[in-house]
Amino acid sequence: MNAKLCKKTQLLSAYYFLSIALERSKRPEILSLANGIIEAQQKEIDEMRAWYQSWYGSAPPSGEFGMMGGMMMEGMTGDTSELAAVSSADFDREFIEQMIPHHEMAIMMAGMLQASTERAEMKQLADNIIASQSREIEMMRSWLTAWSN
């Protein structure tokens, strides 16, 4: 599979994964989290497209910034069918248990971006990803603890 097709597949898997949560979860906190992730990733993609236009004088090639969501959701492509098959009673827990490692991977990748870019706006994007996803991990872990009691 070529890299662009792989990126698009990962991005579609990310949206599919989140759409499963929006359809199946009954917990307002999960619904809010899924909607927030979708909105944040779309904002990041739009921002990167604008930077590309500014830096290179043309629009990015079609699908080029699907990689952001794809990379952020890497490792989840095989998990979507598993999540869809989880019983309703276990769904929210399984969703969170899959989201936490995804967020940890995103934080690691954002750290790599910070170390490798000279562009201030890219460093700020990485800072924002690290901060927001760290907060979300703490929040999800607190939900798991609360739901276990």
The domain spans of the chain are 3-148
Is the domain 3-148 a CATH 3.20.20.450 member?
no
Helix (H) or strand (E) holding 43: helix 28-56
Q: What is the DSSP letter of 57?
A: S
The model carries a pTM of: 0.80
Residue 60, classed as helix, strand or coil, is coil
R_g (Cα) of the chain, nearest Å = 16
User: What tokens does 125 get?
Assistant: 């994007």
Structural contact between residues 126 and 114, judged by C-beta atoms closer than 8 angstroms: yes
Q: How far is CA 146 from the centre of its chain?
A: 24
**pLDDT under 50: residue ranges of the chain:** 1-10, 67-77
